[in-house]
């Protein structure tokens, strides 16, 4: 699925992450990470972003993370919120067990 | 009916659903209950984000040793159904419902929770309910609300909205909520659920908090809602049981154990029958003593 709109979620406060999910003029998921710990946790952050994009069936997007030391569960929550906002849909709770 | 485990409810600290750092920090304070808030502390444009943040924080980063509560938005708000979908699936200990005024509202929420529990494969009835009593109608119907569902384990008085509903002025002395405090307490005692007192709003007035909590404790409340970490230790200190209370609780539990051993249907102590709420209160008293560092 290609995006038509941009979705933003999160803040620049400590322990949070601001996630921007926007249309990608090229193809694929382009992940851009700005984080003090990207050397240590960049791969995990990318995995989380990819998992959320798969969850939403988004195939082409630019995903920017401005990370302030967020836990993985916060990154996931912010990515899901940004994805919902970009797609203009509510979260599918029925899929959560 | 599901067997409820007793748990300490001396202090319940609100944590906004907007702030990861507040959620993480709150796990390190001494409050018994953490209330992840989807309601008043969350701007309308952030309700979707708060739901997902609370859900993932509780599922993946649940603080150990805390009783976890989620306060959802109002029963008649446009957010309630999605809030419940997220809240139930997060599997907190309890969901806190704001501004409950009638028993049928509790039944309606209970049915919605049950449906989600079934769908998500969660044990039915496992999630408890706290009902916020925040209006004169809630106070008048407190007993019916407290006994509307076996899920209800506590009523919590909300003084600000209550005084607004009464056209009263909120004061530090609290004369305007004295009747409401007693009415809610009596309803809780009759229904066998716990009573949680209102917030003391001035976070910089610790002497005022002590005076207010003295009344909270003397009236008979089981705990108090707090809005700032600095209030936690002050309030907890008021709920340290006396040696006499500890001894009585131990005698109650000894009598219950003896009754079980002898396969007695009814157990008595000092000529009076011990019922389930008495047994739960005895567990709570001993838990309060242990939390205060008393060896029991």
Q: ipTM value of the model?
A: 0.97
More confident residue, B13 or B295: B13
Average pLDDT, chain B: 94
| pLDDT of res. B48 | 98
Same domain, B254 and B234: no
* CATH number of residue B52's parent domain: 3.20.20.60
| pLDDT of res. B266 | 85
* Total domains, chain B: 2
Chain B CA closest to residue A73: B56
Flag whether residue A45 sits within 8 Å of chain B, measured between CB atoms: no
Residue B296 lies in a domain: no
Q: Which tokens in the block code for residue B165? A: 């509903």
Flag whether residue A44 sits within 8 Å of chain B, measured between CB atoms: no
CB contact under 8 A, A97 and B120: yes
| pLDDT of res. B2 | 64
Flag whether residue B57 sits within 8 Å of chain A, measured between CB atoms: yes
Same domain, B21 and B62: yes
| pLDDT of res. A23 | 96
* Interatomic CA distance for residues B252 and B201, integer angstroms: 37
CATH fit for domain A7-87, picks 3.40.50.1820, 3.90.580.10, 3.30.230.10, 3.40.50.300: 3.30.230.10
Chain B residue numbers with beta carbons less than 8 Å from the beta carbon of A90 are: 48, 82
Has residue B139 got a pLDDT over 80? Answer: yes
Please compute the mean of the pLDDT values over residues B237-251 and round it to a whole number. Answer: 91
Ordered by start, the domain boundaries in chain A are 7-87
Chain A residue numbers with beta carbons less than 8 Å from the beta carbon of B89 are: 93, 96-97
Residue B79 lies in a domain: yes
Residue B6 lies in a domain: no
Flag whether residue B207 sits within 8 Å of chain A, measured between CB atoms: no
Q: Residues in chain A with pLDDT < 70?
A: none
Strands of the sheet containing A29-34, edge to edge, are A7-9, A17-22, A61-67, A29-34
CB contact under 8 A, B53 and A85: no
Residue B94 lies in a domain: yes
| Contacts with B, A 51-90, CB within 8 Å | 70-74, 76-78, 80-81, 84-85, 90
| Distance between A6 CA and the closest CA of chain B, angstroms | 15
Angstrom CA distances, A76 to A86, B37, B57, B107, B245, stand at 15, 19, 10, 34, 47
Residue B59: which region, alpha, beta or left (left: phi > 0; alpha: psi -120 to 50)? alpha
CB contact under 8 A, B52 and A10: no
| pLDDT of res. B1 | 54
State which residues form the domain around B282: 243-291
CB B146 within 8 A of CB B189: no
Chain A residue numbers with beta carbons less than 8 Å from the beta carbon of B59 are: 73
Same domain, B228 and B163: yes
Same domain, B146 and B181: yes
Same domain, B127 and B219: yes
CB B221 within 8 A of CB B197: yes
Please compute the mean of the pLDDT values over residues B30-38 and round it to a whole number. Answer: 96
Same domain, B91 and B228: yes
Same domain, B205 and B257: no
| Domain C-terminal end among B223, B238, B253 | B238
Model pLDDT for residues B57-95, shown as the tens digit of each residue:
999 999 998 999 999 999 999 999 999 999 999 999 999
Flag whether residue A2 sits within 8 Å of chain B, measured between CB atoms: no
Flag whether residue B123 sits within 8 Å of chain A, measured between CB atoms: no
CB contact under 8 A, A81 and B56: no
| pLDDT of res. B143 | 98
Same domain, B173 and B256: no
Model pLDDT for residues B263-288, shown as the tens digit of each residue:
888 889 998 999 887 888 898 889 88
* A14, A77, A79, best to mutate vs chain B, most B CBs in 10 Å: A77
φ, ψ at B36 (rounded to 5°): -75, 120
Residue B151 lies in a domain: yes
Same domain, B101 and B182: yes
């Amino acid at each position: 699925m290609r995006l038509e709109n941009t979705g933003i979620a999160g803040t620049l406060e400590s322990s949070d992450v601001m996630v921007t999910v926007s249309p990608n003029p090229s193809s694929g998921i382009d992940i851009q990470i700005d984080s003090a710990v990207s050397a240590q946790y960049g791969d995990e952050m990318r995995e989380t972003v990819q998992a959320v994009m798969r969850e939403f069936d988004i195939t082409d997007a630019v995903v920017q993370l401005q990370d302030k030391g967020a836990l993985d569960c916060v990154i996931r929550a912010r990515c899901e919120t940004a994805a919902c906002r970009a797609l203009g849909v509510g979260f599918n709770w029925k899929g959560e067990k | 009916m599901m067997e409820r485990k007793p748990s300490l409810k001396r202090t319940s600290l609100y944590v906004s659903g907007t702030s990861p750092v507040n959620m993480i920090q709150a796990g390190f304070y001494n409050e018994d209950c953490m209330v992840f808030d989807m309601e008043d502390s969350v701007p309308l444009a952030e309700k979707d984000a708060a739901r997902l943040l609370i859900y993932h924080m509780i599922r993946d980063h649940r603080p150990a040793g805390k009783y976890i509560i989620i306060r959802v938005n109002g029963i008649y708000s446009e957010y309630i159904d999605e809030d419940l979908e997220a809240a139930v699936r997060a599997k907190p200990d309890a969901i806190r419902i704001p501004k409950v005024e009638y028993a049928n509202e509790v039944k309606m929420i209970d049915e919605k929770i049950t449906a989600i529990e079934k769908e998500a494969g969660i044990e039915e009835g496992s999630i408890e309910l706290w009902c916020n009593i925040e209006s004169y109608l809630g106070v008048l119907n407190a007993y019916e609300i407290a006994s509307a569902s076996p899920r209800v384990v506590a009523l919590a008085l909300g003084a600000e909205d209550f005084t607004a509903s009464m056209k009263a002025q909120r004061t530090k002395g609290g004369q305007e909520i004295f009747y409401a405090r007693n009415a809610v307490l009596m309803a809780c005692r009759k229904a066998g659920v716990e009573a949680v007192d209102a917030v003391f709003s001035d976070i910089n007035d610790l002497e005022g908090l002590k005076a207010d909590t003295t009344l909270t404790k003397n009236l008979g409340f089981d705990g108090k809602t707090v809005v700032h970490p600095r209030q936690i230790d002050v309030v907890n200190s008021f709920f340290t049981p006396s040696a006499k209370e500890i001894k009585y609780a131990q005698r109650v539990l000894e009598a219950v154990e003896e009754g079980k051993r002898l396969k007695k249907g009814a157990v008595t102590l000092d000529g009076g029958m011990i019922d389930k709420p008495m047994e739960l209160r005895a567990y709570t008293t001993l838990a309060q003593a242990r939390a205060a560092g008393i060896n029991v």
